[in-house]
Amino acid sequence: MSDRELRPLRSIRITGDGRCLFRSVAYGACLRSGKQSPSESLQKELADDLRAQVADEFVKRRGDTEWFLEGDFESYVSQMRNPYVWGGEPELLMCSHVLRMPITVYIHTNSSDSPRIVAEYGQEYGKDNPICVLYDGYGHYNALQSSLETRVDNRRMRYLSLFYRTAAQV
- Looking at the annotation, which residues are catalytic? 17, 20, 140
Look at residue 60 and give its three-state secondary structure: helix
Supply the DSSP string of 68-99, one letter for each residue. Answer: GSSS-HHHHHHHHTSTTSPP-HHHHHHHHHHH
Tell me which residue of 85, 40, 81 sits closest to 59, measured CA to CA: 81
- Strand ranges inside 57-168, DSSP E: 103-107, 116-121, 131-135, 141-146
d(CA 56, CA 49): 11
